[in-house]
Structure formats: C-alpha cells, structure tokens
Amino acid sequence: MLSNRVQSLTPSLTLGISSKAKQMKKDGIAVINLSIGEPDFFTPEAVKTAGIDAINNNYTKYDAAVGIIDLRQAICDKLNGENQLSYSPDQIVVSSGAKYSLTNTLLTITNPGDEVIIPAPYWLSYPEMVKLTGGVARFVNTDFANNFKMTAEQLKAAINDKTKAVIINNPSNPTGAVYTKDELLALANICLENDIYIIADEIYERICYLDSFTSIASLSEAIKEKTILVNGMSKSLSMTGWRLGYTATTKEIAKAMGAIQGHLVSHPCTISQHAAIEGLKSCTDDIANMKRIYQTRRDEAAKIICAIDGLSVVQPDGAFYIFINVGAYRDKVTAESLSLKICDDMLEKQHVALVPGIAFGNDNFIRLSYAAKLEDIKEGLARLKQYLAEL
Ligand SMILES: Cc1ncc(COP(=O)(O)O)c(C=O)c1O
C-alpha cells in the first residue's frame, strides 16, 4: 500500500539508538547517552524571553512564505558581519529547520535522475533526502589519512553528465573535520568548471575551534552564485526544538524555494522566527560560552580516546562529535558489522549509547557526541576501554 518512495527509505539508525537508550532510561537503567546530535544546553534566556514576548504580542498568525522580513534582515547582517557575505533579504529563505532547507534546495534544483555527490562518511539524512526528492546519490569515498575530507581530484572523478550538485558539510557531522580555505577553493573551482551547484551545509559553523572559519560562498562572487548556503539556529543557539534553518542563494533560487515552501508548509513557526532575531542579535556571548565548554570536552575526550589501545580519531576541529577509528578490533569481532556490534554491546552491556559508523557510510568507526556532561563522557570512555580490552 505504501509508495515506492517510502519503501526505499532507510530508517534512521541514530533515532533508533536514542529511542532505545530513552526506553532503557525509562526502565530505570542509568544509560550514558553519547549518541545525541543536540546541544545539552538550554536555549539562551534572551531567545526564550523574545519567544514569550512574540506570543504576548500576538505574532501568532500566518506570515511571509520565505520568513519574516526582520529575521531575513538579521540573517543578512549575521552573514555580512561574520562571514563577509553580502546578501539581501530576498536571497534568504527561512525554513522549519536546516533539514527542510536542504530538502527544499534539492526539490528546487534537481530533476528526477540527477546525481548529487555526497562525500562519505556523510550525515545520514543526505542520501535519504536525495532519494526522496527523486535524485540519485553518488558517494565519494574519502580517506582517513586526509581526515575524510574530499579532495578536488576525488570530486572531479565523480562528476558526469548527470551531476547536478555536491553537498559539502563543513564542519562535518560525523567527523568534526573542517576544510581549509585552500581545500574549499580547490573544490569550488571544480564545481565552477563543471557548472554544478554547491550545497554548503554550514550548520556547525559557529562551533569551530580553529582561529577562523571560511564559508565556501565567501571565496568569490562566481562561487557564491553557484552556492546554496544552508545554516540554522538549532546547533549554535541550542534551538533544536524551535525548528529554524535558512538558505542564502540567488534571488531566482530563493524565489523558487519560497514558492515550494508556500505550498508545502506555508512558512516556519512565526513565534520561533521572532525569537531567533534576538538570538542572532544578542547571543554572541552565549554562543562563545557553549563553544568554550565543548572545546574543553573535546580536548579531554580526544586525549582519553587516543590513549586507548588501537584507537585513533579524525582531527575534530568543529561540531561536537568525535569519529573514532575502531578498525584495529575488526579481527576480534565475528559479526558482519563491526561498528554495529560494538555499539549494540556498548548499549546492552555497558549502558553507553554511541552511533555505529555504518550509519554514516564507514563501518570501521563509531561516533561519540560530546554534547554531554564531561563526567559522563569520561565514564562512557572508561566503559568503552574496558569493553574493548575484554574483546
Ligand atoms: C550536518 C547537519 N545538517 C543539518 C542538520 C539539521 O538541523 P536542523 O535541526 O536545523 O534541521 C543536522 C542535524 O543533526 C546536521 O547534523
């Protein structure tokens, strides 16, 4: 009875693990959850107050399909001030989460059968979004030695007549790797030469531990023209449940995205949009504070992991994930999937939730999220060490 489209979907392993962990917690088991892709901080006070004010001021009605003008202007100001990117509000489309911004992007630029290049390991929703919108995902396997960052040569080799776009997630979920300016330039030049779109998912951009972050769209006017920049409030402002993401792109694409959004969802929640204006204008200190805490946890976690026999990590320069190489334990596990076996055992026997790398396209790795208390991270890693030692 269900459509072929639905039947082709792969259920989300991360959602499966976190609901299993939640159920175990409900059953009274003290699960340490290191699987979550969500900040463990509350939404900043100023944003909460602005949300309450929006309700009291009756900003509770339908509004513009592309998002309210004041928020689109605040997004332009942020992109201009932080990323050296000049956009006008009619180039911005605000959506219900970056997830929908990405889906709407694909609906707007791809035709059935068009290929979208996805470097692996990848955030697990990308292939499903491409499938759902009628496209075909073409994976590019990247190398651990290069922190799983796609090279210009690898990108070039994957392009063919059907290629419409490439997704570049920077900083990356699941690896935390961050592309340098030169690496981005090399990739962008290949895209320009081959006339393909760059879907730049920069949702973790404000959680970057390097001295500076380069937005790919800022490299040149020609590159900006071919880029659909995706960002949002969920991660940096700890506003996951408020559901707000946005795209910055050409006026033509923005108009088309607005038309699709108008029919499918009207627009994102008006109350959330009013709250987000405050988030963009006045929460720089909150963002810096959260980043400082993530950085301490990252340093501690990476140090502990690298001291465990056989483990190594992708250099985590951004986001709040560490992608741990468990490949050295492959000989000790008979199960077909190494990462699934380790993560299943860790949850069942050690009560620690982690995500198997197979969900992101690499079975030799597991993903740890340090959007969790430091003592939980340390205890979780102590249990991982014990588990691996007993294999
Ligand atoms: C790489 C990446 N892009 C986009 C999203 C979606 O974010 P949002 O909550 O704004 O839909 C996530 C969330 O996990 C993510 O990890």
Whether pLDDT at 303 is above 90? yes
Measured by CA distance, the residue closest to atom 1 of ligand 1 is: 173
- CA R_g for the chain: 21
Measured by CA distance, the residue closest to atom 13 of ligand 1 is: 37
Structure confidence at residue 332 (pLDDT): 96
Residues 6+ apart with CB under 8 A from 255: 90
Atom of ligand 1 nearest to the CA of 245: 10
Structure confidence at residue 10 (pLDDT): 85
Structure confidence at residue 12 (pLDDT): 79
Q: Give 137 Cα–ligand 1 centroid separation in angstroms.
A: 18
Say if ligand 1 is within 6 A of residue 201 CB: yes
Say if ligand 1 is within 6 A of residue 234 CB: yes
CA distance 270 to 110: 29
Q: Give 94 Cα–ligand 1 centroid separation in angstroms.
A: 14
Buried b (16+ CB within 10 A) or exposed e, 37-57: bebbeebbebbbebbeebeee
Contact of 321 with 345, CB cutoff 8 Å:
no
Residue 17: which pLDDT band, with cuts at 50, 70 and 90?
confident
Structure confidence at residue 121 (pLDDT): 98
Q: What are phi and psi of 153, to 5 degrees?
A: -65, -45
CA distance 375 to 96: 34
Q: Give the side-chain half-sphere CA count within 13 A for 167.
A: 34
Q: Which two tokens stand for residue 308?
A: 């465990």
- Which tens digits make up the pLDDT trace of 375-388? 999 999 999 999 99
Q: Give 325 Cα–ligand 1 centroid separation in angstroms.
A: 23
* Beta-sheet pairing, 92-95 with 245-248: antiparallel
Q: What are phi and psi of 282, to 5 degrees?
A: -130, 10
Nearest to 370 by CA among 268, 269, 299: 299
Structure confidence at residue 15 (pLDDT): 77
Q: Which two tokens stand for residue 233?
A: 């409030």
- Which tens digits make up the pLDDT trace of 201-222? 999 999 999 999 999 999 999 9
Whether pLDDT at 13 is above 90? no
Q: Give 308 Cα–ligand 1 centroid separation in angstroms.
A: 30
Buried b (16+ CB within 10 A) or exposed e, 324-340: bbbbebeeebeeeebbb
- Which tens digits make up the pLDDT trace of 230-276? 999 999 999 999 999 999 999 999 999 999 999 999 999 999 999 99
Structure confidence at residue 321 (pLDDT): 98
Q: Which two tokens stand for residue 101?
A: 């911004």
Residue 68: which pLDDT band, with cuts at 50, 70 and 90?
very high
CA distance 99 to 305: 31
Q: Which two tokens stand for residue 23?
A: 């159920």
Helix 374-389 crosses helix 338-350 at what angle (to 10 degrees)?
110
Residue 86: which pLDDT band, with cuts at 50, 70 and 90?
very high
